[in-house]
Structure 1
Amino acid sequence: MKKVLLTGAALMLVGGMVSVDTCAAAEPGVKITGDARVRLFYQDENYGDFGNIDDDSSNTDMDSRVRLNFQGTAAGGAYAKARIRMYESTMGDIDNDPSTSSLDNSNIWVDMAYVGIPFSDQFTLELGKYRSTYGPLGTTYNFFYDDVHSTGARGIIKVDGVVINPFIEWMEESQTYSIYNLNRRDDNDEIRFGVHVKGKINKDWTLGGMVGYQMDERRESVDSLYTWEFEQNEGFFGSIYTNGKVDQFGLVAELAVTAAELNNFNSWEEDYDAYTGTDRIGSDDAGFGGYMFPNYQIDKLNIGLNLGFTDGGFQTDRAFGFVMLGSSDNSRISAARIGDTGDWMWAGLVANYQIDESLKLTGNLVYAEVDPWDDKGIDGDGPLTTSGALGAALDSAWELSAVLQYTISKGADVYFSAGYLAPEFDDSDLEDDGCFGALTRFELKF
C-alpha cells in the first residue's frame, strides 16, 4: 500500500507541475554514436599482497570494449535511447569468450533502454532503464553518485538556469535472493526516491546537491534448501557540491553522507550473495565523506591539491581517485579503492601540463593515512566489500604516478599511465613491498 501511495503521489506531482504542451517539432529519425577502448596493462608481482595471495608472478593482460548509443526521435520531440555493450572482457578463449557481466554465454548486451517525453520546454520525463550521475559534471573526479544504473522515472525540470531532477527508482524488483527465485512474484521491492538540484550562481560557479531515501521491503529469503536472515538496506543519503573558478583559481568540492545500512550502496557490487549468505551493503555507523580540490592555473600548467576523507564505513565511487589509489585514470592498475578497508584521509598534489594541443601530461604525488576497520559487515565498522573481504588493510600508502595523453586525431586518444605505490599494511605478516603498474589505453569516440 505504501508503494501505491508513493507512486500515486509522484504522478500527481508531475501532473501538477506541468501541462502537456505541444513542443517544437523535431526531425524524426535514428542517430547512432558510440565509443570504444582497448587497454594493455602490466602489474608486477607485488600486487598479490593486496589480495593476501601468495603469488610472486607478474601479470600482463589486455581488454577491449565497444559501445553503441542509439537515439530514436519522434516528430513531436519524444525520444528513445538505448546502449549496446560488446565484449568488455580480458583476453581469453577465442572460440568462447562471454562477457564477464553476462550469464547467458553472450558478449553483447544492453545496459540502457528508456524513453523521454518532453511535456514542455521546461519539463521532460524519462522512464526505463538509465544511468545517473549527480555531481560536478565535467570534472576529473566523480566522488559519490556516478554512473549509477537504475530503473524507474526521473524528471528534468529547467527553471531560470536551475535543473531539478526528481526520481523514483526500483533498485530490486521483489525478493531476488532465493536461489530458485521462488519469491519474485511477491511485491517486496527496494525503492529509491529523492531529488537532485543544481544551478549556476553565475557564469563561473555551479552549486548542487541531492537528497534521497531508500526503502527496502524485501523479506527473509526462504526456499527448500536454505534460509538466510536478509538485512534490509534502508535510510537517507545525500550530498552537496560546488565547482567553479575566480580568475586563475578553481575549486571542486563535495560532501556526502549515507545511512549506516547504505554504506557501499554506490559501488558496482551485488548487495547480497545468496550462495555465501553475505551482505555487502551496510555497516554499524552512518558514513561521511568529502573532498576538495583547490587548483591554480599558470599559463599551460594547472597545480592542485586533492584533500579528502572517509569515515564510518563511507565508500567513494570506484571511479574516484588517482592511478594506483582509486581509478580516475580509468585504469586496470589500481591497487586499492579509496575508502576501502578503513577510514581514510588523503592529500594528493596533482599537476597538469598542456604541452601542446595534442599532448597533455598529468603527475600525482599522493599520501594516504588509513585507520583500518576492526570488523567488516553489516554489524561492523565498515561494509564487507569485495576487496575488503579478500584484500589486506592499509595503514598508509604513498603514490607516485603519471599519465600522458596524446590526441592522435579528433575523437581518437591514447593514454600512457604508470604508477608506483609504497604501502604499509596493518597485517604485520605482509611485506611492505611497493608495487608498480603500467597501462596503455586507446580510446575512440564516434
Structure 2
Amino acid sequence: MMKKVLVAGTALMLAGSLAAQAEAGVNISGDARVTYIGKQDYQRTADSANGYDDFFESRVGLNFEGKGAADKVTAKARLYFDGYGFEDDAPWDGQKSRTDLSVDYAYLTAPLGDWTIKAGRINPDYSRFFSWNIRPTRLVANYKQGNVDITPFVGVRAEGNTATDKWNDNDYMEYGLVTGFKLENGWNLKVYGRYDDDQREWAAATTDVSVSGVDAAGNVGTLMLFDVPTDPVRNKDKSGFLGDVFLNNEGANCDFGFHAEFAYKAADVQGTEDDGMGGYVMLSKAVSSQFTPAVLAGMTKDGYVADNDFGFVMVGGDTSTQVLKVGDGGDLLFGAFVANYKVSERLTLTGNLLYADFDNDDAGQLDNAIEVSGVAGYALNESASLTYKAGYLTPSIVDGSGAAEDAYFAHYLRLNVAF
C-alpha cells in the first residue's frame, strides 16, 4: 500500500503547489497532418499476397501548457481529436463522424529543492533502440549537478483486475533509475536500469458464450454473450530486470559521429524462454557540409525486439510502411548503410540499404531480407512540411513451406502543419 501512498501523496502536493500560484497562464499550440499511404503485398497467405492497398489518414493534436505566476510549476497535456492511440494511424472511414478524444500525455512538473518532480502520464524518451515514444504513468524525480543527471522513477504498469488482487492491492509496478554522465572528452554515457514487479496472482479470464433457445412460435434463436467472466487462472509472472547502456559523442566536436548501445531484458518480462539482448554500433562522417554517410551494424538475440521507433522505412522506423520491428522474426544480425544529403535549406534526402540475416532453420521462417528505401523532406515554410517515404523489402524464406516471397513495397506522402 505504501507505493500508492507515495505516488498519490506527491501528486497531491504538486497539485497544491499549482493551485497556490495566484496568476495562471495557459499556452496552446498543436499540429495537424494528413497522409496518403500505399502498400503492396503486405497481407499474404501461404502462397500468395494481396496486391496494392491504399488509404488516407489524418489527425489534429493540441498541446496545453499551464504555468503558475512564477513559472515554476507547470501542467502539460496533449489531446488528439480521434479515438486512436498516439502511435496509430487515424484512417479515413467514409462519412463516419469521429468524435472521440485520446490523451497522448498529461502530467505536472514542479521544483522540490534541487530536484524536479514529474507526476502523471509522462513521455520519457530514453533511446530509440530501447525505449522511445512511450506514455507510462509514473512519478519521476530528476537531479542535475554539473556533468551528472540522475532520474529515479516509480510507475504503475497495470492495476490488478481480479477481485482477489484488488483486495490485496496486487499490482504490476516498475521501479527504475536513469543516470547520465558527461565524460571528460565530451562524450555522453547513459545507463538505464528497471525492475518490473508483477505482484498479480490471478489473470482475469473470459470466454464467449452462445445460448440457443426456441420461442413459443417455434422459432430457433441464438444469443451471443461476449467476454463472460470464467474461473480465473494463475497470472504468468512478468517480473524481471531490464537494462541498457548508451554511449554517443554528440556535442563532443569529433571528426566522426559515434553511437553504441547494448540492451538486456529478462525472459519473464519478454515472455520468452531465455533472457533477451541486443545492441548496435553506428559510425558517421560529415564528408561535406551537405553529405553525411553512416554505417551501422547490430544484433538481437533470444527474443529481444528493439523499440518500434528504431530502424528504417520497412524494418523498424515507426511509420505506416513498417513490415516488422528490428528483432521480429528471430535472432538477427544486421548491417546498414545510410546516406544523408542536404540539398538545400528546405530539402533533405536520406537513402537506406539494409541487410538482415536471421538465425532460422524451420520452414516458412525468415532466412534473410534486404531493404532499399528513401526519405525526402521538404520545408514549405517555417510551420509546414512535406515528407515522402518509399521502401522495397525482399524477404527470403527458409525452404519447405511454400510461403510467398513476394517483395513488399510501400510509400507515403505526408503534409504536416504546426501552429
Distance (Å, rounded) in 1 between the aligned partners of 2:108 and 2:165: 29
Distance (Å, rounded) in 2 between the aligned partners of 1:311 and 1:117: 41
Which residue matches 1:441? 414
Instruction: Summarize deviations over 1:154-174 as a string: whole Å, max 9, x none.
Output: 011111132211000011012
**Aligned partner of 1:47: which letter?**
Y
CA RMSD for the aligned pairs?
2.9
- Are 1:319 and 2:326 matched, yes or no? no
Contact 2:31 2:416 in 1 (8 A): yes
**Aligned partner of 1:78: which letter?**
V
Shift of 1:431: 2.6
Distance (Å, rounded) in 1 between the aligned partners of 2:8 and 2:56: 46
Which residue matches 1:117? 110
Which residue matches 1:103? none
Distance (Å, rounded) in 2 between the aligned partners of 1:338 and 1:399: 12
Contact 1:331 1:439 in 2 (8 A): no
Instruction: Summarize deviations over 1:65-114 as a string: whole Å, max 9, x none.
Output: 222111111124111111111225112132344xxxxxxxx431223221
Contact 2:154 2:176 in 1 (8 A): yes
Distance (Å, rounded) in 2 between the aligned partners of 1:31 and 1:203: 39
Which residue matches 1:240? 245
Which residue matches 2:143? 157
**Aligned partner of 1:128: which letter?**
G
- Are 1:365 and 2:353 matched, yes or no? yes
Shift of 1:118: 0.7
Change (3 A) 1:27 1:426: farther
Kindly report which structure 2 residues correspond to 1:260-275, keeping only aligned pairs within 5 A, or say none: 260-263=267-270
**Gaps in structure 1 of 5+ consecutive residues:** 16-20, 98-105, 136-141, 264-281, 375-391
Shift of 1:7: 6.5
Kindly report which structure 2 residues correspond to 1:7-156, keeping only aligned pairs within 5 A, or say none: 28-44=24-40, 46-49=41-44, 54-76=48-70, 77-87=72-82, 88=84, 89-97=90-98, 106-120=99-113, 122-135=114-127, 142-156=128-142
Kindly report which structure 2 residues correspond to 1:179-258, keeping only aligned pairs within 5 A, or say none: 184=166, 186-201=168-183, 204-221=186-203, 224-244=229-249, 246-258=253-265
Shift of 1:371: 1.7
- Are 1:306 and 2:288 matched, yes or no? no
Change (3 A) 1:27 1:252: farther
Instruction: Summarize deviations over 1:320-371 as a string: whole Å, max 9, x none.
Output: 11111112xx421122221012011100100000011011110011100012
Q: Which structure has the larger Rg over C-alpha atoms?
A: 2
Contact 1:342 1:373 in 2 (8 A): no
- Are 1:347 and 2:335 matched, yes or no? yes
- Are 1:331 and 2:323 matched, yes or no? no
| Range that drifts further, 427-436 or 212-221 | 427-436
Distance (Å, rounded) in 2 between the aligned partners of 1:37 and 1:203: 41
- Are 1:432 and 2:405 matched, yes or no? yes
**Aligned partner of 2:68: which letter?**
A
Change (3 A) 1:148 1:5: closer
TM-score (ref. length: structure 1): 0.78
TM-score (ref. length: structure 2): 0.82
| Range that drifts further, 300-309 or 70-79 | 70-79
Distance (Å, rounded) in 2 between the aligned partners of 1:414 and 1:222: 46
Distance (Å, rounded) in 2 between the aligned partners of 1:332 and 1:145: 19
Paired-residue identity, %: 31
**Gaps in structure 2 of 5+ consecutive residues:** 85-89, 206-228
Shift of 1:414: 0.8
- Are 1:169 and 2:155 matched, yes or no? yes
**Aligned partner of 2:368: which letter?**
S
**Aligned partner of 1:441: which letter?**
R
Distance (Å, rounded) in 2 between the aligned partners of 1:10 and 1:287: 34
